[in-house]
Structure 1
Amino acid sequence: MTEVDLVATALATGAAAGLTDTSLGAVHDLHTVLRDAISRRLSDGCDGVRGGYGVRVLHAYAADPDVWRTRLLQVLTAELDLDEEILGAARAVLRADRGAGHVIVDVVGCGARSG
């Protein structure tokens, strides 16, 4: 996985966690830190003009990652220096998501198992 793919995956994972499962609050919180850091950098990189193309793509990606993934990858590659702050935040989102331990309910046996 490239650094750009890592960041895009973390953004999609965090957005999905925030929309679907309130028990994944840590994932959502870390996603917010990542998204805000990227947004700040993209805003700073637009010659002082806030809300540039990159920021719009970032927000659109949060709403529909499947449609906006290619454009986000282009923005991350062309307009953003993926420094350790951003990469560390992306890794933290993915670690928190793995550590959340999703629960799968077995309706037939009325038991639960983690998976």
Structure 2
Amino acid sequence: MIMVTGVEVIIAALVAGATAGSTDVARTVIADTYGGLKNLLRGRLAGRPQAQEALEAREVEPGRWRAVLGDDLADSGADTDERILAAARRLLELADPDGARAGRYEVDASQARGVQVGDHNTQTNTFI
């Protein structure tokens, strides 16, 4: 099994929540779950104005969210908070049930170098 870092789960959930839902019911359930995740994150990111601002923006670009929120999610402990991770996983299950069932959000990159998570990435590595 491959495990995703907490930061990557949270970022993926934020993106999914901001963009998912093709029916009114799905949009409502996803929006409620997305709002719950953001409320948990607001509490964890209190006192971090740049992170709070990024969380409230209508950003849906994973790389941008990762750049702005990644360190604060890790430094605040959000990436290991079980309530936040459970909310993020639930949001991913709702927004992308096929991907969640297939293990798309389970990545263990603890021993890897030059890792990317997501779709349509481009990367060039030079290891010495």
Return the TM-score normalized by structure 1: 0.66
- Within the candidate set 17, 22, 25, 2:24 is matched to 22
The residue aligned with 2:74 is 77
Unaligned runs of 5+ in 1: 101-115
The residue aligned with 1:92 is 90
Q: Distance in 2 between matches of 1:69 and 1:22?
A: 29
On the 8 A contact 1:38/1:86 being kept in 2, the answer is yes
- Within the candidate set 63, 68, 74, 2:65 is matched to 68
Residue 12 (1) aligns with residue 15 (2)? yes
Kindly name which structure, 1 or 2, has the bigger radius of gyration based on alpha carbons.
1
Return the TM-score normalized by structure 2: 0.60
Give the Å deviation of 1:15. Answer: 1.1
Give the Å deviation of 1:56. Answer: 0.9
Q: Distance in 2 between matches of 1:74 and 1:86?
A: 16
- Within the candidate set 55, 60, 67, 2:52 is matched to 55
Unaligned runs of 5+ in 2: 99-128
Q: Greater strand share, 1 or 2?
A: 1
The one-letter amino acid of 2:24's match is T
